[in-house]
Structure 1
Amino acid sequence: MYEIPQVDLRHIVSKTEWQTRIELAACYRLMVIHGWDDLIHTHISARIPGTDELLINAFGLAFEEVTASNLVKIDVEGNILDLDCPFEINPAGFTIHSAVHKARHDEQCALHLHHTDAIAVASCQQGLLPYSQYAAFALASISYHSYEGLAVNHDEIKRLQDDLGDANFMLLRNHGALTMGKTIGDAFMHMYDLIRACEIQVKLLHSTDQIVRVDQSVIEGIKGQAKIVHTGLTGGQKAWPAMMRRVKRQHPDFDH
């Protein structure tokens, strides 16, 4: 009842799949490090490069229990591809990931969280406001999706896809946050910026009504400025190796 089935796929899957498994498992552990996990709920999914196959967490495992080997390989419809897989996935949670991966073939990773401050900001009619540099990054590519209850309705997929469009940041009204990334590191960095923006907004609204806003012209130009800072790389590409090292120090079993 309390034992986690032990699997070791290191020498069974391709090098590309194994690397994706390692990075996705690291991302799950980063959620724990930052305090962004929600018991066994929410998900991060990643496409195995060059395929239409996805990896996602096994339903029932805490995020600190996710490893490279116990991630579940599925197709975009949520069907488990390994016949002898001892795990299952959460069909309600996968509705969101199925929708965005079908619509955004160029994006490798979708990251969905139930962070308290993200839910608070998403639940406000005005949504995210330009109160910080972090908000400026998110506001340059943000969308919203209305709450429809637990994500088990297949009809919601089209509405979710339409609302997401080509945005990399989404606030799910009354629900949480979603970010997309061309790499797992990019999706993580987008979520980092979005969560920090929401935390700052909630803190400011509790402390003062004299708030200086970021000018719209800055928001419109901030993507170009970021490219200069990262010398052609994305924020994820630049920061991700350091995040991988952090995970290895604090959760050395993640890549098993």
Structure 2
Amino acid sequence: MSKPTDMSEIEWRSRCDLAALYRLIACYRMTDLIDTHITLSVPGPQRHFLINRYGVAFEKMRASDLILIDLQGNNVDSRHAEGRVNAAGFVIHSAIHEARPDLHCIVHTHTAAGMAVAAQRDGLLPLTQHALKFYGNLAYHTYEGIALSLQERERLVADLGSHNAMILRNHGLLAAGNSVAAAFHEIYFLERACQAQIQALSAGVALSIPDEAVCLHTAAQFRRDGIDGIIDLAWEAALSLIDEQRAEWCQ
């Protein structure tokens, strides 16, 4: 499907990129029926962002299935005037999009490993190289129930601070970035770190934890010059796994 004539090129490209990310999250088995969400801001003064039409399976997400909403949760998408949006998704994502305009893409998941680590008092442990990416760079938000209250937004934003990733205690994971590629990279590494932690703890043997100097050094290495190019390469490699679906997600 080509770009609708009444839609800007940047919005259409944003829709295609976000639909592809939804499908990749499904490809990597990070879905939870219809109850998680990914958003992407559309460049422009209105500060609108795209979110999934509630009820569409991530595996089948298309550009035309995404709904454009504003920071107040109003549906501003003429194509989906009656489209339903996950209320908790709006609460969580609108708060971050408003407070952190540098984070264009936000991913929230409820994976088994992510929820398991979110339920552990000590959170993510510095057990693996993947986990050390987040050493000193991971926020935590205390569980308050299903995120339906607008009052929770201030606390979410305060807890996130300047970080790009957060564990929602007793709930799941949240990761964000300045692009779909960066957000995918964050959630992929955070998810894999959680998976490794659960498996390591299940072995019931003593664990090896690097000393703090090594942890800090490794975290800094993940922020070195040139890392953005690696993130983009990883994104393109991941997209190749679903390349045969490209004609579908850009519909």
TM-score (norm 2): 0.92
Deviations 1:6-63 (A, max 9, x none): x985443211111111111011001111111111111000001234010010011111
Give the aligned partner of residue 193 of structure 2: 197
Q: What is the aligned counterpart of 1:94 among 85, 90, 111?
A: 90
Aligned letter for 1:71? Answer: L
Q: How far is the alpha carbon of 1:78 from its aligned partner?
A: 1.3
Unaligned runs of 5+ in 2: none
Give the aligned partner of residue 116 of structure 1: 112
Aligned letter for 1:54? Answer: F
Q: What is the aligned counterpart of 1:131 among 115, 127, 132?
A: 127
Q: How far is the alpha carbon of 1:102 from its aligned partner?
A: 1.1
Counterparts of residues 9-88 of structure 1 (less than 5 Å): 10-51=4-45, 52-85=47-80, 86-88=82-84
Unaligned runs of 5+ in 1: 1-6
Aligned letter for 2:182? Answer: D
User: Do residues 151 (structure 1) and 171 (structure 2) align?
Assistant: no
Find the aligned partners of 1:93 and 1:224 in 2 and give their Cα distance.
31
Report if the CA contact (8 A) 1:133-1:214 is conserved: no
* 3-state DSSP of counterpart to 1:208: coil
Q: How far is the alpha carbon of 1:140 from its aligned partner?
A: 3.7
Report if the CA contact (8 A) 1:140-1:222 is conserved: no
Give the aligned partner of residue 233 of structure 2: 238
Q: How far is the alpha carbon of 1:250 from its aligned partner?
A: 5.2
Instruction: Indicate the RMSD between aligned Cα atoms, in angstroms.
Output: 1.9
* 3-state DSSP of counterpart to 1:38: coil
Percent identity for Structure 1 against Structure 2: 38
Aligned letter for 2:21? Answer: C
User: Do residues 178 (structure 1) and 136 (structure 2) align?
Assistant: no
Q: What is the aligned counterpart of 1:253 among 224, 231, 248?
A: 248
